[in-house]
Amino acid sequence: MIDADEMPELPDPFDIAPVRLTVDLSALAENWRDMAKRSGSARTAAVVKADAYGLGLEDCGTTLYEAGARDFFVAVVQEGVTLRAYAPDARIFVLSGIWPGQERMFFENDLVPVIASEEQLAFWMGVIAELGDYPCALQVDTGFNRLGLPLQDALALAEDVSRPASFSPVLVLSHLHSGDAPSAPSNKAQLESFRQVSAAFEGIESSLSASAGIFLGPDYHFDLTRPGIALYGGEAVGGMKPLRPVATAAARIVQIREAAAGGTVSYGATYQLARPSRLAIASVGYADGYLRSLSGSGVPLRAGGTAGGYGYVAGHRVPVVGRVTMDLTIFDVTDVPEGAVNAGDYVELFGPNIPVDDVARAAGTIGYEMLTGLGLRHERRYLEAE
């Protein structure tokens, strides 16, 4: 039996992890400051829903709070409860609103429900009638047809002199459905509708713009902006260079293998090698959020002959070949000089050399899904903000 005292010390888990994620908190803080500057006279919130877009609510929330954010948006009440510990005196808005049984969670953690439907409004009126004045926000639908009171109902509510005095919204908000397409006529149509809302609720702060809307200019900023994807280094507007990259995902290469011309690769034998090749087998797959649609062949999105995903190793972009599997993905490293890449090295999946949105496009999706879909097996390292 091996003596435990003779065993080598345990290495840093990050150094030996099959898949790992590096989160640059300095870049996150700088991106928030950048969006705050672009927001002009409007205050700038931070959207941290979905575990801060997959990058970690605790660390990202703390960093954004320390950078100066004092308004936060989460999707569900449980996220707000978690965030409260890291943003002690911030306003935390819960976008999905409030449901029966959640009152205590809201009140004890000082969370602000975003009332998003007629049913929630009726429930909320009952809550404040029983428990007294408590702040809320009111979402108005200006054309998205997702959440929010219909425009005319919201305007009627603003003029309703019989509404309870304890109904005291601190914010009215709406959401642009095509903010990432600056020339879309609907942006101006939604802006004009929201201006009616803002005027009707005079004296109450207004918010229309998420990341993309901020780039549309001051007319869209109102009192509070709500950047999300731009903070995390994703594209807010199609074709516009994103801010600083925040997340880098990488996978360990398990094996480099030689394969003959004419051989096939991965499930279904859908990819045939046209030349003698060197293949790097990496410890990442769709269980880690590296989507199956990034396969080099053999999936519907690739049926038209379009290329799949790429990795980056030893200064080279290397294509995915064959199907991505649950735990493994195969990259063609034939064009990387021999000896420059070896088993145990790491291939970048996305990061400073391959933007997350480029990977997303190759998968037929968007950067939001790549980030929020990161699997549980990524060992994480946070580079602390200065």
Query: 3-class DSSP state for residue 130?
Result: helix
What Cα–Cα distance (Å) separates residue 207 from each residue in 44, 155, 194, 262, 290? 10, 16, 9, 59, 35
146 belongs to an annotated ligand binding site: yes
Three-state DSSP class for 158? helix
Give residues with Cβ within 8 angstroms of 350, minimum separation 6.
Answer: 247, 248, 249, 356, 358, 359, 370
Residue 188 designated active-site: no
Q: Which of 49, 220, 232, 368 is catalytic?
A: 49
Write down the residue that tokens 């199956």 correspond to: 292
Catalytic residue among 37, 86, 241, 267: 267
What is the rounded CA–CA span in Å between residue 64 and residue 366?
24
Cα 338 off chain centre by = 37
Q: Would you say 212 and 200 are in contact if contact means Cβ atoms under 8 Å apart?
A: no
Put residue 101 in one of left, alpha, beta given phi > 0 → left and psi -120 to 50 → alpha.
left
Q: Is 241 a catalytic residue?
A: no
Q: What is the per-residue burial (b if ≥16 Cβ within 10 Å, else e) of 161-180?
A: eeeeeebebebbbbbbbbbb
Q: Return the amino acid letter for 247.
A: A
Annotated binding site: 146, 326
Annotated binding site for substrate: 146, 326
Q: Catalytic positions, please? A: 49, 267
